[in-house]
Amino acid sequence: MFSLKTRLWRHAIIPSRYYYSSITAKRQESYEGGGEAKRKAQHDKGKLTARERLDLLLDTGSFREYDAFVEHDCTNFGMDSKKIAGDGIVTGHGTIHGRRVFVYSYDFTVFGGSLSRTNANKIVKVMDQAITVGAPIIGLQDSGGARIQEGVSSLTGYADIFQKNVLASGVVPQISLIMGPCAGGAVYSPALTDFVFMVKDTSHMFVTGPDVVKAVTNEQVSQEVLGGAKTHTVKSGVAHHAFVNDMEALQRVRDLMDYLPLSNRENAPKRLFDDPVDRQDEALNTIIPSNSNTAYDMHEVIQRIVDRHSFYEMAPEYAPNILIGFSRLAGETVGIVANQPLISSGALDMDASVKAARFIRFCDAFNIPLVSFVDVPGFLPGTAQEHGGIIRHGAKLLYAYCEATVPKLTVITRKAYGGAYIVMNSKQLRSDYNVAWPTAEIAVMGAKGAVEIIFRNKSGKDALEAEYKEKFTTPLAAARQGYLDDIIEPRTTRARLIEQLDLLKTKSLQNPWKKHGTGPL
């Protein structure tokens, strides 16, 4: 015969054990997603599952999940009998290299990764927390779009996510990995984030898929051509990188995070480096060809100046006539913007202007100093550029440089002609440190073109060209008027830049108060 105390204890513990078992079963249901067959189908396509991706992205054991037991509440089209714990999206937070990030990962094995109202609530919750505590947001996208059975409710879920994307913009870094098919509303959230990565062959992005395109326009097009990784990294510029598989994409995001601050209230992490601050690279003294019309690779210039093996290039295949990316000088993150003479002689066009402008605005929003390497003969001429809006697009780059208040440094390696000279962070755009190499040519235009205009009907133009170069295009002419801070020996560039960045750590510059600017979008 048990005592009253014992009987009460037994009655208390039995329900506890029952509920614990029930909770464990529900959690296991969430882990299993759409089941073994669908997970196998995901693997057969060369794709990882939602949780496998998070395991690779985050530091081991650091993930803390939110809302693992949430289920949809839709009763349309038999959905009331099709409920899975977690409802097809995994959300929470973890660390990358020991630093906090918030994450959400679509589970394509559950209803094709379609977005439900409850999915949207889960995403908005982690975005709100990320903004509150000041930590990046990383979204792993593998979604067919809005859940059709929920009608307008799923669409309003997208609207809530878009609103949070905009509110988080410039507050915390936002990164999207497209790791499967993303259509309709599923593509607009990534488009609002700072960086978009894709996976070759298995990821696609389009507003309307091939079937809709055929029905409306009678045009037959494959998923890959319409919205594959090559399309968006080479032609549209929507994506910044495309990687071979899920594993490489996740690792490269981990690498990128090492350059970025957690929020706009913090500085980017400083890393240990073994590259001497005063290292002088003799090859820089001869890297510029003696013939000003001969191309060279600006990658080599950058890599000989920054900390060794630290240049992380963004959007390398889109508008390759300009280079952008993150690097380090003395262990500190900097944003690099550089003309590429190997492509179109480094001339600025519509795509290059937009590509660089957006990157500059990101760096400025997150307090990352900007270093510009200039070799630009001007804006690309032609009716295609003029009719396409080169004036408006070029103004975006100008606006970005003018608005930026972070430390801004400029090195003119060779040509800096016309309006492009001004746009590429000239001294008058509040640039802090502008230097030129002795090989620099700074003028309204090249000597040949200038002489053709000024002395159209005169003979002996070779001598006139030589005279024009000596009087107007040498860096000394600009330095005499205070438009350059110095003319430096190329091999000393690294030490000079690091010295100036150290000096500018206490820079404080405020733009006039405004709600926001009205730049040329």
Q: What percent of the chain has pLDDT over 90?
A: 73
Which pLDDT tens digit goes with each residue over 370-398? 999 999 999 999 999 999 999 999 999 99
Q: Is 144 an annotated catalytic residue?
A: no
The per-residue pLDDT for 77 is: 67
DSSP structure string for 62-93 = --EEE-TT------GGGGGG---TTTTEEEEE
In order of start, what are the domains of the chain with their CATH numbers? 24-257 (3.90.226.10), 282-506 (3.90.226.10)
Beta strands in 119-173 (DSSP E): 137-143
User: Is the model's pLDDT at 8 over the cut of 80?
Assistant: no
Distance CA 94, CA 92 (A): 7
pLDDT over 70 (residue 120):
yes
Asked if 335 is an active-site residue, the reply is: no
pLDDT computed for residue 151 by the predictor: 77
Catalytic choice (420, 443, 447, 478): 420
Q: Which helix (H) or strand (E) holds 52?
A: helix 50-57
Q: Which residues neighbour 433 within 8 Å (Cβ) at sequence distance 6 or greater?
A: 408, 409, 410, 485, 497, 500, 504
Residue type, 298: M
Tokens of 236: 């549209």
Confirm whether 184 is a catalytic residue. yes
Which one is catalytic: 237, 419, 449, 519? 419
pLDDT at 309: 95
Please tell me the predicted confidence (pLDDT) of residue 11: 53
Selected catalytic residue, list 144, 184, 378, 446:
184
One-character DSSP codes across 284-307: GGT-S-SSTTS---HHHHHHHHSS
Type of residue found at 450: A
User: Which pLDDT band holds residue 29 (cuts at 50, 70, 90)?
Assistant: low
HSE-up of 132 (CA within 13 Å, CB side)?
6
Strand partners, 66: 91
More confident residue, 81 or 430: 430
Per residue in 329-367, pLDDT tens? 999 999 999 999 999 999 999 999 999 999 999 999 999
| Residue 500 · residue 291 · CB < 8 Å | no
Q: Is the pLDDT of residue 249 over 80?
A: yes
Q: Is 228 helix (H, G, I), strand (E, B) or coil?
A: coil
Tell me which of 33, 144, 185, 446 is the catalytic residue: 185
419 tagged catalytic: yes
Query: Helical H runs in 344-406?
Result: 350-365, 383-388, 390-403
Distance (Å, whole) CA 257 – CA 185? 26
pLDDT of residue 87: 82
The whole-angstrom separation of Cα 164 and Cα 283 is 49
pTM: 0.92
Kindly report which listed range (59-73, 272-286, 335-349, 477-491) carries the lowest average pLDDT score: 59-73
Specify the pLDDT at position 16.
63
N-to-C CA span, the chain:
82
